[in-house]
């Protein structure tokens, strides 16, 4: 095995999981009527310091469009703040609005999916 860059399949898998977690965090946050700042505060109050920008990057990706990887500690802290199990954040779920397939050229306001 080489220690070089990850191959396309490995990078794609990482992106898929980051998108799933981001989408689930966004949907659950909306369902609970929380703003980005509210969720960041709940996570911080639960013992894991988190700022609004971190939640935003997890949900929607970075300025380059790539979804931010989520650490195990962040996953557990977000799950605790949203009152779900970490496994729930990893489940591929369909958005109740766009069902994971928004209209081409648009981004779903509920889950953040785009095409």
Report yes or no: 98 and 109 within 8 Å, Cβ to Cβ: no
Q: Where are the domains of the chain?
A: 8-90
- Please state, in angstroms and as integers, the Cα–Cα distance from residue 2 to each residue in 5, 11, 15, 20, 80, following that order: 9, 15, 21, 29, 37
Assign domain 8-90 to a CATH class: mainly alpha
Taking only the tens of pLDDT, the chain with its 115 residues reads: 445 554 444 444 457 888 889 989 998 999 999 999 999 999 999 999 999 999 999 988 766 666 778 999 999 999 999 999 999 999 987 677 877 777 888 888 877 777 7
Helix axes 52-60, 72-82, angle to 10 degrees: 100
Residues 6+ apart with CB under 8 A from 20: 89, 90, 91, 92, 93
């Amino acid at each position: 095995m080489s220690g070089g860059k990850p191959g396309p399949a490995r990078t794609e898998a990482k992106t898929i999981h980051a998108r799933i977690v981001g989408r689930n965090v966004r949907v659950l946050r909306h369902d609970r009527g929380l703003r980005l700042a509210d969720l960041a505060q709940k996570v911080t109050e639960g013992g894991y310091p988190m700022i609004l920008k971190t939640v935003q990057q997890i949900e929607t990706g970075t300025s380059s469009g790539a979804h931010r990887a989520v650490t195990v500690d962040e996953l557990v802290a977000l799950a605790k703040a949203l009152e779900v199990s970490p496994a729930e954040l990893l489940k591929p779920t369909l958005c109740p609005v766009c069902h994971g397939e928004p209209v081409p050229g648009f981004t779903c306001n509920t889950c953040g999916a785009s095409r």
